[in-house]
Structure 1
Amino acid sequence: MEMNVISFFNLLVVVILVQKCYSVKKETYNIVCNLIDDGVVAILGPSTYVTSPVVESTCKNLNLPYIVTSWRMTSFEESDVFLNFHPDADKLAKGIADIVRSLGWVGIIILYEEEEGLVKLQEVLKLQNLKRTDNHDFIRDAHTVDYSSLNVTANITTIRIFDYNSEEFLNALQKWGITAFEFFKTPLYLTPTSIKTETALFQDALTYLTAALKDLPYLPESKVNCFADDKYMNGFSIINATRHKEDLPTITGPIKFDDFGNRIDFNIYVYTLDEDQLIGTYQALNETMVFARTSEETSLAATSNLKKVKVMVSTRIGNPFLMEVTPQDGQILEGNDRYEGYTKDLMDEIAKNIDFTFELHITEGNLFGSYLEDQKRWTGLIGDLLERRAHLALCDLTITHQRQSVVDFSMPFMTLGISILHKSPAKDPTRTFAFLEPFGTSVWIYSATLYLVVSIILYFIARMTPGDWENPHPCDDKPKVLENIWTLQNCHWATLGTIMNQGCDILPKGISSRFALAMWWFFALIITNSYIANLTAFLTKANLEPPIKNVEDLSKQSKIKYGCLEKGSTEQFFKVPT
């Protein structure tokens, strides 16, 4: 096929098809030298990573243009005679990574045949936000593979670097068929899906090289010898003219090169496999993803996939969302008819509007779904989704950060959150003798008894103490009668004034009586201050806020007992981290 295209352009180009790894690289070197002895203007090198560096080194040494169409970069930091029409490896890998990120895939698996395939997708491996990053290889010729043998309803997405429905591609396909008939007198039946990516790249390389040679002045025949100091004089001019060609009809889209000959401008087309419909186009030059579908078309594509399978819905029994129907006498219930409730009614309406069938499946253990750290797996509804036992889950499931990190949630049909119902402390009714409550009854009795006892004791002490007997007539130095003011009434008044913190206008003068009254003062100081403190706390207790205002307050205390559903989101909220 490639040789027919060369004959059509009538170019003096040697195509080296070295597809196998020779045991000795020197043999490859000899083959290249024998071919260029007859005189060439450019070499289109092999795609194998074993022989390509040998050819590249030879061409660089001889200043001979070297053009490749394979996924590999030049082995030299600077090369004036190298040109690769295949998209730059790093930019192509970055484009694939941007496509994965734009499509919102939560995980990828990279399948690769050789170590070189994994190196090509380094940018994809750098997607740290993806939860599963094993391995997934970019199939350059995904459109040439027949996926009908898989017989699956999975949504398979393919990518290409050329659009085989474009006018440029269809025109090239027609020219190839005409050329084959002119030279071989037999028709060549080609279909768009039979053309490989490397063939399309080869066609664009020949288009660019042919246009560049036509624009250059006459190039005299120049032969070079690998074993001499010969240099091809027109190598840089040919590569430079080819690199700067613009506005040419190409199959693989826009083409631009950097200073090292690597292609930096190209498009990646993203297609759906089932309808072969273009989803979007990634433009490498400005690193943008342009979607071909509107939001309505994306929604219709998603719903069309539901019609192909019976949707398995994982749910759980819980009133009033889903309940088991009690069959009547002789009645046998099967399938979804065994259940009733809001969950089933909601699913019936969704299936009716979108036109698909579903089957309700009660999850094992009737659990919502929690992560088992020791087993490294999820239980309940979340486990059914992650282990592919169900397509979707529907029930009164709380959206938590941990669950949201592994599955996608729709808009909630009910928003409740964690709420508590707590009885506030009841206010005591107003009482007339509330001022007595700071002390207990026994304290009041003891205090009153002590008041009477101290008053009587003070009376006897004052009567026996000489210092409390006074002269009633100060002018008489030798009175016959002495007077004592400490009657039983005055003793009661002195002790009462003390405990009321008011004092008294009469005070004892004897040492014994003063000492006895001082002891009563000390007791009165303690008892009155204690009463005032308790009274203040008692009066302000009714105005205190309830001890629990939210669930955080509930989790921080241990006085009030509470419980929750096992393995649910509420348990995870109250669970103490270990």
Structure 2
Amino acid sequence: MHIWLIVVILLWPHEVHGYGASSYGAASGQAIRIGLITDDSTDRIRQTFEHAIAVVNSDLSVPLVGETEQVAYGNSVQAFTQLCRLMQNGVGAVFGPSAKHTAAHLLNACDAKDIPFIYPHLSWSPQTDGFNLHPHPEDIAHALYDIIKQFEWSRFIFCYESSEYLTILDHLMTLYGIKGPVIKVMRYDLNLNGNYKAVLRRVRKSEDNRIVVVGSTEGVAELLRQAQQVGIMNEDYTYLVGNLDLHTYELEEYKYSEANITGIRMFDPDKKEVRDLIETLQHELGESEPTNNGSSPITLAMALTYDAVRVIAETTNYLPYQPQQLNCSERHDNVQPDGSTFRNYMRSLEILEKTITGRIFFQGYMRKGFSFDVIELQPVGLVKVGTWEEGKEFEFKRPPQIPTFNDNEENSLVNKTFKVLISVPNKPYASLVESINTLIGNSQYEGYGIDLIKELAEKLGFNFTFHNGGNDYGSFNKTTNLTTGMLKEIVEGHADLAITDLTITSEREEAIDFSIPFMNLGIAILYVKPQKAEPALFSFMDPFSKEVWLYLGIAYLGVSLCLFVLGRLSPSEWDNPYPCIEEPEELENQFTINNSLWFTTGALLQQGSEIAPKALSTRTISAIWWFFTLIMVSSYTANLAAFLTIENPSSSINSVEDLAENKDEVQYGAKRTGSTRNFFLTSEDETYMKMNAYMTSHPEMLTETNQAGVDKVKAGTKYAFLMESTSIEYNTVRECNLKKIGEALDEKGYGIAMPKNWPYRDKFNNALLELQEQGVLARLKNKWWNEIGAGVCSAKGDDDGPSELGVDNLSGIYAVLIVGSLLSFVFSFFYWCLFVFKKAKFYEVPFCDALAEEFKIVISFAENERALKSAQSVYSRSRNSSQSIESLQTDSEQNIPEED
């Protein structure tokens, strides 16, 4: 009975970690325990481990029971402790953590006990890293070699994260031999300097725009992100990513950059096993990350963990295995029976189904017989463009392009020609091409609207000719039924389409039709960027509030006064001023009021003084004062840099309400004709009605074009311009002194204008929807807003170091220095004149003669000594010349410097 209780007590704490065979009774020896030591903070590896056990147990007669131990990343001591706990529970196999050094320590311990060790991560030495399903770096290099050969690269840059990844480069160079391409090698490492921008700038300055990137999942993802910031994520650059987790990256922001990003992955995200695992993660962890356009939240480490559990399960079907409880501290021959046999049998299996990463087959210690999906980032997401298999020739097999129009379809647009109105110049929608040659026809125009019509023409098969329709987009008068501008041209049949920054309004739709919006926007305020406020003269005092400075001054005076009083109360502070006299007639106290103030001043400024407290009371208050000043000075120093460098911008207006209230006398206006002006004319909102009244009474504030309004804002005459948010966005990335103020006032969209009841409207709308789904609209906007002619302001804002301090920031310090220096001269001159006056009075000589005599001594800069008496001195003719002024007064009474 007592033995049974002891067994229950020993097993109970570890039983709570077990799962997967509750119905089988793990304690009875009917189940096989396997352990997982994970350093994954997201808990995904653990959930994958549990899910895989639950899946394989449905096919096993002897189930698997999993036990998980969570450890900190890189903590080998903690990991070894948890390994010993798992051994005591009788695990038959152990899955190791991702940290390589920690895994190496655990592998040695498992080898000593003949326990199979599974490492589901990239391994550089499969012979010494236990059972590993990850492709060897040699195979990854071979895949990269075949892809580069298809690219026909004659030179490229090889970017690697750490020295381990040079193994891939070594295999690449071995495959190329002596006739390979020119390879420029660069290292990026986040642990070296905190960012990769220095390396990426070298890439930008080089002539090579083809880049092979190898490294960890986190490292490669961060490299791509910073590459976009540096400006090398565009159509001129091609990236080949050698990390097998490219499908897990956040690639949304790169879809429309037009950069070619190619990579490899080991499994299909649409595979049933992957979908089931994702559903489990969603249920257990509350995550919502389904596969989407070739992407997946399932990392390769999770997939290999799943497959390794499958291998263990298949092995137990062929080889009986009953793991025993072991003790880490016992002798070496206390090992797991059949452990090494079980590990070797795992490598002898060939598994073809029910795995995530495909066929599992080993040649020696290395996995073989697998394949890679070659994937490419396109506007629709990651697209499979080929399959790589060892020993087979690789070729790109991109999906064929499906025609988007049919010549025989009713109302076909094929070979029809339309007259399209544009507004020139009106960047970025349409403008003239800058060229030294004379261009005619459609080739003379460029812009967002031009490219959009070309995309639609390519999709629908029509032809087009562009015509400048001027700056008047047009309006419709309900009373007279008359139209103006571009609208009139379309209504009268002189034009078929109009594309520019033409807003869809109910008024215009009474005269013409619009396509669905190709761009959404709203009215916003364009204004000059807030100017940085000039730093105050005494900005060095900003780290502390006025109250703190006041209390600091009170503390300074209070402690000085306490020192003065305690010095007089403490017998130890009364000293013999003449140590040679053993029995002095009087004692002297060093803590005079002047010395007390000087002592606290020295401590406050971290300089010290020659005064040394002797009594316990004075030393106590001195120590407390030193501690107080230490904290105060440290706090001041810590905040000083921030207060000197941070410059808070001061803006005249921050919202449309400020503009309506005419705050700081800021004037405002809009384009004289168009939807923006009509918005204020028809609005019933009190604020907008007030703004409309202002613009109506000040017609000089209205402009003929948006560009005229932008120029007026740039002139810096306290003028704000109301225009569409997209146009503001375009201008603010090119004019660094301009900024969008507040939120959009409304929501609307730009559309393509066309005749009323036009038969081809639905075709245009469907084509626009397709372009939107394919990411073409976003790519065009990114091209004309953020790439062509942009980047000036963002480049200036890309500052790798702190901003330098100017004279304005430190002017107060110089002022204190100058005033202090002047005061010292005033004090010196006052006491010098007092000294001369007393000396002249004593020797009964005229003050002016004495002053001249002393001045001669002062300006004798080459002399550092002065005669006490001189026959030529003005004092030698005095009857008191034989006496010394020092004999009449003590040093403390004279307040004059002592003569040599």
| TM-score (normalised: structure 2) | 0.31
Give the structure with higher Rg (CA): 1
| TM-score (normalised: structure 1) | 0.47
